[in-house]
Structure 1
Amino acid sequence: MAIVDAHSHIYPEKISRKAVGAVGQFYATHMDAPDASAEALLATCAGSPITHHIVHSVATSPAQVETINDFVAEQCAAHDNFIGFATMHQDYENMEAEIDRAVGLGLKGVKIHPDNQRVNMDDPRLMRLYECIEGRLPIVIHTGDYRYDFSHPRRLKKILHRFPRLVVDAAHFGGWSIFDYALEYLEDENCFVDTSSALEFLGPRRTVELCRAYGIERVMFGSDFPMWSPVTELNLIESMGFSQAEFEAITWHNAERFVGEPIG
C-alpha cells in the first residue's frame, strides 16, 4: 500500500527558508516547517507511513518557469518517491513548447496559484494552458481565498465546463477559507479536491461531511507542506473513522487516478 501526499511544495535549499517566510507572510500564519527543501520534506516524513509526494513550486514571473521546472525534475530524478508537477505563468511566451519540455523532463502535471500569480484563473492567457494540457496532463489549481477573487471556485466551474476533459485538483477542498462556497459551485462538477490547508480549519466532523458530499472518490490527501506537517495531517485523516477502503481511496487510489498512472 502507498500513501501519497498529493500537495507538497519544495524549493531549492538556498532559498527554502526565505520561501517559507514569504508564504507565511502571505497567509499571515505560522509555518510548521522552517525549511521547505526536498530534504526537509523527506526528513519530516521519515519513519511515517507516507510513501510518495506530488511536489511542485510556483512561478511568480515568466522568467522563473524554466528554472523551477528544471529544479522539480532534478529532485524527482534524485528521489524516486517524488511525482513532479511543472509550473507555468500566464505571461510565459511559449507555453506549448515548455509543456512539451516539461513532459520530456518526466514531469507529470502542472500547478498554478492564481492568487500568488495575480491572475484570474479563467483569464484568457491561462485558457491557452488548459487547452494545451486538456486530456494530456492533470493540473493542481489553488482555489479559494476570502481576500481575493482570482481563484474563486465560480471561475473554476466555468473552466471545467469549457474544458470537460481537463483533469483538475481544486486544491484545499475546492476553496481555501470559503469551503461552503466551494461546495456550492463544485459539488456536482468533474474535478478532484484535496485536503491540504483545510483540516485545522474544518475540524473532523465537517471534513468527513465534505468528503462525503464531494464523494470519497474525488478526495485526495494533501498536506500543503511546508505550511503543515504531512505526518500530522495524515494522523488527522486516520482519526476520522473512514473505512479502510475509503482511507485507501483518499490516500492512494484517487491520486493514482488523478496522475493517470500507478503509484507504489
Structure 2
Amino acid sequence: MTTVDGLLFLGTSHFGYQLDASTALAGMDAVGTDAAIAAPMHPHRGDFTEANESLAEAVGKSDGRLIPLCRVDPWEGDAAVAEVQRAVGAGARGVFLHPSEERFRINDVRVRPIVECAAELAVPVMVAAGYHLFAEPLQLAAAARWTPDHPFVLTNGGQFNISGMSQFDAQLALGNPNVHVHTSGMYREDFLEGVVKTFGPERLLFATAAPMFTMAYERLRVDLAHFTDAETELILGGNTIRIFGEVGA
C-alpha cells in the first residue's frame, strides 16, 4: 500500500509558519508516508509565481515524493488564470485556493475562471475549507457545481466546526458527487466514519496539512477510526493517487 499525505505546505508563510522540504520528508518517514501533495505557503509580498516556482524547485529534488500544486490569488484576475496555465504546463498537478489567507469568498465570480481553467486542463482543485464567511460548506458546494464532473477537494473535512448544523452543511457539500474531503483537523471520528458510510470510502482522503497540524497526530485520525482494510487503503493513498495521479520518481 502506498501512503500519500493529501496536503502539506512548503516554504515560509507571510503569517509566520514554515516548513522546508527536508524537514517535511523526515516527518513523512517518521509516520510511514511515501509521498505528499505539496502547496506553497502564502508568500511575502504576494508573489505567487515566485512561490510556485520555488515549490517546483523543491519538488524536483524530492525523488518524486512531493507532488506540486500551484497556488493563485483570484484578486489578480486574468493573471491568476495565466499562472495556472503556466504552472500546470510546468508540472503542477492541481490548483490550490486559500480563501481565508487571500481574503476572497470561494463562490465569488472572480474564482470561477480559475476553477473552469483547472477543469479545462484536467487537474483537480483543492480548497482550504471551513473558514467563516470565506469557505463555508454551502459556499464550497456552490463553487463545486461550476464544474460538476471535475474533482473538488476540501481540506478540514469541509468544515472546522463539525457540530450541529455545521456537520449537516458539510454533508450537503458532499452531496455533490465531485466533492472530496480531507481528514485533516477533523476531531470527530464519527464524522469521518459517517463520510465513508454515507458517501463511500472514495470520498475521503488522508491529509495532515503540516505544519498547520502535526503529522503523527493527523495520521492517528485514520489509524484509530473504524474502517475496513480496503477502506483504509483508499483513504491513505488510493484516492489521492486516483485524483492527482501516480506518485514516485
2:223 counterpart of 1:238: yes
| 1:187 pairs with one of 174, 180, 183 | 174
The aligned amino acid for 1:236 is: R
Q: Tell me the secondary structure at the aligned position of residue 99 of structure 1.
A: helix
| Corresponding residue number in structure 2 for 1:125 | 110
With normalisation by structure 2, the TM-score equals: 0.88
2:195 counterpart of 1:210: yes
With normalisation by structure 1, the TM-score equals: 0.83
CA distance in 1, matches of 2:91, 2:174: 32
| Corresponding residue number in structure 1 for 2:7 | 7
RMSD value, Cα: 2.2
Q: Which stretch of structure 1 is more off in the superposition, 241-250 or 87-96?
A: 87-96
2:157 counterpart of 1:157: no
2:31 counterpart of 1:45: no
Aligned-pair CA distance for 1:62: 8.1
CA distance in 2, matches of 1:205, 1:159: 26
The answer to whether the 8 Å contact 1:153/1:181 transfers is no
Stretches of structure 2 lacking an aligned partner (at least 5 in a row)? none
Aligned-pair CA distance for 1:172: 1.1
| 2:185 pairs with one of 173, 178, 197 | 197
Stretches of structure 1 lacking an aligned partner (at least 5 in a row)? 21-34
CA distance in 1, matches of 2:182, 2:190: 16
The answer to whether the 8 Å contact 2:14/2:42 transfers is no
Residue by residue, what CA displacement relative to the aligned partner does 1:41-96 show, whole Å, maximum 9, x if unpaired?
11222243210010102446884110111011111101120010000101224233
CA distance in 1, matches of 2:239, 2:134: 27
Determine what percentage of the aligned residue pairs are the same residue.
22
CA distance in 2, matches of 1:206, 1:158: 22
The answer to whether the 8 Å contact 1:144/1:153 transfers is yes
Runs of 4+ in structure 1 over 6 Å off: none
CA distance in 2, matches of 1:16, 1:69: 13
| Corresponding residue number in structure 2 for 1:82 | 66
CA distance in 1, matches of 2:239, 2:181: 10
Q: Tell me the secondary structure at the aligned position of residue 232 of structure 1.
A: helix
CA distance in 2, matches of 1:167, 1:231: 27
Aligned-pair CA distance for 1:181: 3.8
CA distance in 2, matches of 1:96, 1:16: 22
| 1:64 pairs with one of 30, 40, 47 | 47
2:130 counterpart of 1:144: yes
CA distance in 2, matches of 1:37, 1:110: 20
The aligned amino acid for 1:38 is: A
CA distance in 2, matches of 1:184, 1:252: 22
The answer to whether the 8 Å contact 2:183/2:222 transfers is no
CA distance in 1, matches of 2:15, 2:143: 33
CA distance in 2, matches of 1:208, 1:10: 29
Q: Tell me the secondary structure at the aligned position of residue 162 of structure 1.
A: coil
